[in-house]
Structure 1
Amino acid sequence: MRGTLRGLIAAEMADDDKGMGQLRAKLNEQYDAYRKEHGLINDPSTLRVFEDDPDYPLLASLEHGYTPGIGPAAAKRQGIKPTKSTAKKAPIFDRRVVAARKPVRKVDSPADALAVSMAERGKLDADYIGKLLGRDPEEVLRELAGGDKPALFRDPATDEYVLRDAYLSGNVRAKLAQARAAGVMANIRALEEVQPEDVGAGQIVARVGSPWVPTKVYEDFAAHLFGDGTTATVRYVPLNSSFQISVRPGNEVAFTTTYGTSAVDGEALLAALLNNRPIKVTYKDSEGRTHVNTEATEQANNKAQEIKDKFTDWLFSDSDRSEQLVRAYNDTNNNYVTRVYDGSLMDFPGKVPDDIIKFRRHQRNAIARTVQDRTALYDHVVGAGKTFTVVASAMELKRTGLAKKPMVAVPNHLVKQWAADFYRLYPGANILTATKKDFERANRRKFLAKIATGDWDAVVIAHSSFGFIRPAPEFEASFNRREIAKIVKTIDQVEVGGGDKAQKKRTVKQLEGLKERLENRIKALRDKPMDDLLDFEQIGVDQLFVDEFHLFKNLMFSTKMQNVQGLGDSQGSQRAYDMLVKINQIFAKNGRDQGFVAATGTPVTPNTAAAPRFRPPFDSPWSTRSPTRPRRAWAPSPASRCAPRAR
């Protein structure tokens, strides 16, 4: 039956009408005979026999709407009649499900050639566009980049042609600055039209410690608080999102009385506010036990509230400073235009007809985004069709040659279901499914070799099995060295910089702790049993899809925030770090941070603290993904108007 099914699919793809008829009749005959003698293919008795057969999901896809039966014993316990399992025959038994491929050979206009290039190749393929038109490719691209509404722009940052909707989206303020520096007038005019409307001073609310506020503003505020002659130095440490401050007051009364107390001076209060630290005054008794001085703590917090109120009144009171702050806020937080993707022109060769399974608009657009960007987050609600979106994206990336070997990592109990869904949508798919036995110690090497040596449309693998594949040792070592070097460099900068010694000591201690956690995580990861025959680089995977990606979001983090619900364990999880290393390995292999797609219906839990755990693989393009991102940078920087970034 398996051989007949594969032959029928091949005949449909070759447009062999005679062969199709004969093989379809034979498939019906074989299936009916099997069903009569052994029951349904999806019955538990069949599954037990063929559980480890990689082609079982293909045969299981021949039955739709399977409903398990109820045996005599179970029926008796439930007080009902026994029933037999039921299922309908798949559409391939009575009609064609794979259309013959008819490639486009010629078009009449550059616009049509561009559309065909995106549909057939998934990218701007200059040579292919020139071939479709029978013209010089560079001449066609220049024509597409001309006129009042060009279809392409040459990006001065990369000196490459970019699609109009791609260029006029993302961080358009940074792109406008680049265009102005390069003097490209067409780009400047187009980008000026899509700039987000500035959020005005009256709509912005900043607190002491908002990271987008320039440090010079905080220095000026300290001088304002503590009188003429005050000198203040404020430094921001991005790695752990902390501020260092050193103040030499011009007025001691303001420093220790007006905006300070005898127990906590103005510098300490301002440092605590900048770093979002609780303010407590403590003392030790004769036995060395620490107690909170309630009265002194209350006095210090009252002074801190006065500093916050003063900051609010002072911040936008000067017109020049107000203009600087408005620009800083908008350039940092209001700079993004969401790109709109259009999958309406895609035709998905090899997919079953729309009368069997039809994509919804959001699925088509998500597939178009994946093919063009190769990195995306499907944060679609349950029931929105993430599975078929992943399947079609993987198949299109493989068909267009943008990816050579896609891998789909899914929860352990869903491996066979995913494989069956691949075949339901693409009956002719050539997929490899990793069973539980494939990743038992005795079989792991054999299966990894099968991944490496096969030309698969996709490899479907369980989350737990994915964890047994070792990252490339050279890449992993380099990645870890870079992360630790960032921490060491920041520690050195803090130690040689100015500021209060106690503050510097706290910052260095926190960074040393982050470094130690990273080193422990690396050691724990390497102590985990992994196969050393073939690593993640050697098996050839260049596109990774991960279902239920929220299970991998718990990366290590650093923070000084306290008493915040949902912060979780700063140590992070071993499998989250392993996943991050492999994602970065794919990014490095493909360039431009391409090659990773996450799918989940629950991207973050409903609190601010969860957001940075999930973000690293989806930062702005071209950035380095890091497991040591600060948590406090995600703490609210209030504004009455701030549109969220769409990822």
Structure 2
Amino acid sequence: ADEYLSGDVRAKLRMAQFAAETNPEFAVNVDALTKAQPRELEASEIDVRLGATWLDPDIIQKFMTETFQIPYYLRHAVKVRYSPYTAEWRVEGKTATGRGDIISSETYGTSRANAYKILEETLNLKDVRIYDTIEDADGKLKRVLNKRETMLAQQKQQVIKDAFANWVWQDPQRRIALVKQYNELFNSTRPREYDGSHIHFVGMNPEITLREHQRNAIAHVLYGGNTLLAHEVGAGKTYEMAASAMEAKRLGLCQKSLFVVPNHLTEQWASEFLNLYPNAKLLVARRKDFETANRKKFCARIATGDYDAVIIGHSQFERIPLSFERQERIIQEQIDETLAAINELKAHAGENFSIKQMEKTRKTLETKLEKLRSDERKDDVVTFEQLGVDRLFVDESHAFKNLFLTTKMRNVAGLSTSEAQKSSDM
């Protein structure tokens, strides 16, 4: 039941109803799923913002036509387009109405940025900025932010956002359709609740009894795929991880678990692990195993021995390389993704700024690939794939958070496009 009554329960209910039409015995499923449906959100509880990528461009088109009162003979020229690859919105024919259009240049815009330009920036989640181009002493052109014009344009941006918030729910049919779409997309998943009360921990120290939250966490690790144990300090994560590894091995879900912990804690981890499972076969990295001379020997021991768990430090984990083929494939995938985005932007005459950023990303990736290919193959190093590790437990996993991503947003705190080598290895 935990598994069946979780996940996309709306889709499951539709399937159950369909099955029950021909086989009445599935009526039980329909009943149980009907009770598990999340409460439908109403229009007053949903906040639809300009730039939400689930909105149909036709809705934005309608808003633009009605609010900015586009003259009838220009309606085919001013169009809203959305590109799913780069998640970029574009308003075509921004200048079609010209300066004489009071609504776009005064009511919802300024003389320097008309309403259509401001709407486009808003859809792309950017704040409007107005620049002046001036010549410096050497005769070079440079762009300077015009503070007064920018402030005026940003006030108009707020006016457009408010106008949209008032407009979007006015038409009853549109309201019904949007509420239904929103509930389907974002309000149909029910998180699974895990119950670990039935697990028998074979080989565990009889003096130690795990608490309820620990048992549930272990059930989550065993049945739930990737799991983040985000407990407070002292809630017993070490025991949860150790018991999960031993239980997974006993049930045949994995053969060899690798624990990656901060360097100075490897031995402390081992003693807690043995305290919980006195008969466990562990391989633990000591300080001298971190030295270059002993590292290869240690990796070879991981690969050849049959251990319940291997405990190594973060810095050692970083030094175990991935196989050349896998690294090459991952970088190639990132290059292809970036190329697709560049071609899309070019096809729609995207702003040069975005194209330049993406080209820069592509060059970096290609350099990385060349460097990877030119490195001499060191055949005597055991790669990660050869260790035979099929389950990974990482302590202090926030140390691996800076991963590569492509984004069109600029100046957002916490969104860095640079990546850390250790995160991509992870």
Q: With the length of structure 1 as denominator, give the TM-score of the two structures.
A: 0.58
Q: Does 1:573 align with 2:424?
A: no
Letter in 2 for 1:209: G
Aligned residue for 2:213? 362
Paired AA for residue 384 in structure 2? F
Q: Are 2:94 and 2:117, in contact at CA under 8 Å, matched by a contact in 1?
A: no
AA paired with 1:267?
Y
Partner amino acid, structure 2, of 1:458: A
1:267 counterpart (112, 116, 125) = 116
Q: Does 2:125 correspond to 1:276?
A: yes
Partner residue of 1:554?
A: 402
Change in 2 beyond 3 A, CA 1:178/1:529: farther
> CA separation in 2, counterparts of 1:546 and 1:523?
31
Aligned to 2:6: 169
Q: What is the CA–CA distance in structure 2 between the aligned matches of 1:250 and 1:181, rounded to whole Å? A: 51
Which residue does the alignment assign to 1:477? Answer: 328
Q: Secondary structure at the match of 2:180?
A: helix
Q: Which residue of 1 aligns with 2:88?
A: 242
**Aligned partner (choices 315, 318, 321) of residue 467 of structure 1:** 318
Contact kept, 8 Å, 2:128 with 2:150, in 1: the verdict is yes
Aligned residue runs from structure 1 range 416-565, under 5 A: 416-497=267-348, 501=349, 503-519=350-366, 533-561=381-409, 564-565=412-413
1:538 is paired with a residue whose SS is helix
Matched position secondary structure for 2:60: helix
CA distance in 2, matches of 1:313, 1:266: 17
Structure 1 pair 247–314 and aligned structure 2 pair: CA distance change class (3 A): farther
Give, as a single letter, the amino acid of the residue that structure 2 aligns with 1:538: Q
Q: Write the letter of the residue equivalent to 1:266.
A: A
In 2, are the aligned partners of 1:218 and 1:234 still within 8 Å (CA)?
Answer: no
Task: Check 1:228–1:178 CA distance in 2 against 1; reply closer, same or farther (3 A cut).
Answer: farther
- 1:201 alignment partner in structure 2: 43
| % identical equivalent positions | 39
One-letter code of the match for 1:168? Answer: L
Task: Give the structure 2 partner of residue 225 of structure 1.
Answer: 67
Is the 1:213–1:328 Cα contact (8 Å) retained in structure 2? no
How many residue pairs match? The answer is: 408
Equivalent position amino acid for 1:450 in 2:
R
TM-score by length of 2: 0.86
Deviations 1:165-199, CA, capped at 9 Å, x for gaps = 11211232344455567778735554333121111
Aligned mates of 1:349, 1:470 — CA distance in 2: 35
In 2, Cα distance between equivalents of 1:507 and 1:182? 49
Q: Residues of 1 paired with 2:371 and 2:289: CA distance?
A: 24
Name the aligned partner's letter for residue 275 of structure 1. N
CA distance in 1, matches of 2:195, 2:182: 32
Query: Secondary structure of the equivalent of 1:407?
Result: strand
Structure-2 change in CA distance of 1:250 and 1:285 (3 Å) = closer
Matched, 1:308 2:161: yes
Question: Residue type of the partner of 2:91?
Answer: I
Q: Report the Cα distance in structure 1 between the residues aligned to 2:175 and 2:409, rounded to whole angstroms.
A: 29
Structure 1 residue 370, shift from structure 2 partner: 1.1
Deviations 1:573-628 (A, max 9, x none): 1211111xxxxxxxxxxxxxxxxxxxxxxxxxxxxxxxxxxxxxxxxxxxxxxxxx
Q: Which amino acid aligns with 2:357?
A: Q
Q: Deviations over 1:38-74 (max 9, x none)?
A: xxxxxxxxxxxxxxxxxxxxxxxxxxxxxxxxxxxxx
| Matched residue, 2:188 | 335
Deviations 1:367-399 (A, max 9, x none): 111112242110011010000000000000111
Alignment-derived partner of residue 294 in structure 1: 147
Question: Shift in Å at residue 208 of structure 1?
Answer: 1.4
- The CA distance in 2 between the partners of 1:383 and 1:249, in whole Å, is 62
In 1, distance between residues paired with 2:146 and 2:312?
Answer: 58
Q: Secondary structure at the match of 1:378?
A: coil
Q: 1:533 to 1:429 in 2, by over 3 A?
A: same
Does the CA contact (< 8 Å) of 1:222 and 1:247 recur in 2?
no
- State how far apart, in whole Å, the 2-side matches of 1:517 and 1:245 are: 31
Three-state SS of the structure 2 residue aligned to 1:306 is helix
Taking the TM superposition and a 5 Å limit, the aligned residue runs for 1:369-384 are 369-384=220-235
1:556–1:482 distance in 2 versus 1, CA, 3 Å? closer
Letter in 1 for 2:49: R
Q: CA, structure 1 residues 204+504, in 2 after alignment: closer, same or farther (shift >3 Å)?
A: same
How many Å apart are 1:443 and its aligned residue? 2.0
Give the deviation of 1:532 after TM superposition: 5.0
Question: What secondary structure, in the 3-state scheme, does the structure 1 residue paired with 2:345 have?
Answer: helix
Counterpart of 1:541 in 2: which secondary structure?
Answer: coil
Find the aligned partners of 1:194 and 1:269 in 2 and give their Cα distance.
43
1:196–1:516 distance in 2 versus 1, CA, 3 Å: farther
Shift of the 178–554 alpha-carbon distance from structure 1 to 2, 3 Å rule, reads farther
Deviation at 1:531, TM superposition (A): 7.8
Aligned residues of 2:248 and 2:254 also touching (Cα < 8 A): yes
RMSD of aligned alpha carbons: 2.8
Structure 2 alignment gaps of length 5 or more:
none
What are structure 1's unaligned runs of at least 5 residues? Answer: 1-163, 580-647
1:454, CA displacement in angstroms?
A: 1.0
Q: Equivalent residue for 1:38? A: none
CA 520–427 in structure 1, closer or farther in 2 if over 3 Å, else same: farther
CA contact (8 A) 1:259 1:265 kept: yes
Which secondary structure state, in structure 2, belongs to the residue aligned with residue 382 of structure 1? Answer: coil
Is the CA contact (8 Å cut-off) linking 2:85 and 2:344 kept in structure 1? no
- Match of 1:233, SS state, is strand
> Does structure 2 conserve the Cα–Cα contact (< 8 Å) formed by 1:468 and 1:530?
no
Larger Rg: 1
Q: Which amino acid counterpart does residue 505 of structure 1 have in structure 2?
A: N
Residues 320, 524 of structure 1: alpha-carbon distance in 2 compared, 3 angstrom cutoff? farther
